[in-house]
Amino acid sequence: MRSSSYHHGDLRRALLGAAAEALATEGAAALTLRGLAARVGVSRSAPYRHFETKEALLAAVAAEGFERLATAVQTARQNVATSDETFVALAKAYVAFARAHPSHYRLMYGREALSRQDHPALQDAADGLYDALTAAITEAQAAGLVRSGEVAPLVGIAWALVHGLAMLLVEGQMEPPASDDTLAELAARTLLRGLSPAD
């Protein structure tokens, strides 16, 4: 075995990619560090040059997920004309992401071990998403669609609804409706109505 294969070009990225793929195809339970290494064509303890521990690898994968979800949400937010549809589009995008990447979404929210304190990068990525949601609510307030007042609790409720929906669908706890985002849309409209200014 000659020189060129000793050093893998970008093992870190390769590992993250393999992890994401394994997550998508086989689920988190089947994701093993040794398996990833083999898949990438590297020995079992090579990953330790790039990640402190398995948890750290998973945290990095989760962080990537948060970034992508934040992007999806931002995109949805900007591609809508009327401001009340923003809400609906956002909810749809959120739920759609979760349903498209169930194991990934589960990983992002489901691991107690992935406490954000231990993984600052994860924390940052999650904050990015939160900020996007906050911006959407603030905007809705400005448009007079949502009652004014402290945003944090309102964001909390909106996030909870959409996250809960995503979770229940992802975990298979709830029958998915025929059309994928029917429920997300209904949820968004219900929420909007519940949050509308009193008159």
Partner DNA sequence: ACAAGAGTGTTGACACAGTCAACATACGAT
Partner DNA sequence: ATCGTATGTTGACTGTGTCAACACTCTTGT
Distances (CA, A) of 27 to 23, 24, 34, 104, 171: 4, 6, 15, 8, 12
Which residue lies nearer to its own copies by CB, 43 or 173? 173
Asked if 56 touches its own copies (CB under 8 A), the answer is: no
| Closer to DNA by Cβ: residue 18 or 169 | 18
Q: Alpha-carbon distance 13 to 156, whole Å?
A: 34
- 33 is a contact residue toward DNA (CB under 7 A): yes
Cα–Cα distance for residue pair 140/110, rounded to 1 Å: 30
| CB neighbours of residue 188 within 10 Å | 26
Helix (H/G/I), strand (E/B), else coil: 64: helix
Count of residues engaged in binding DNA, rule: CB under 7 A: 24
User: Per CB under 8 A, which region of 2-10, 36-44, 68-76, 174-182 contacts its own copies?
Assistant: 174-182
Which residue, chain included where needed, has tokens 């990068």? 121
**Which residue, chain included where needed, has tokens 């940052």?**
124
When the beta carbons of 41 and 156 are compared against DNA, the nearer one is: 41
Name the site residues for its own copies (rule: CB under 8 A): 27-29, 102-103, 106, 109-110, 112-113, 115-116, 126, 152-153, 156-157, 159-165, 167-168, 171-175, 177, 182-183, 186-187, 189-195
Name the site residues for DNA (rule: CB under 7 A): 2-4, 6-8, 11, 31-35, 37, 42-46, 48-50, 53-55
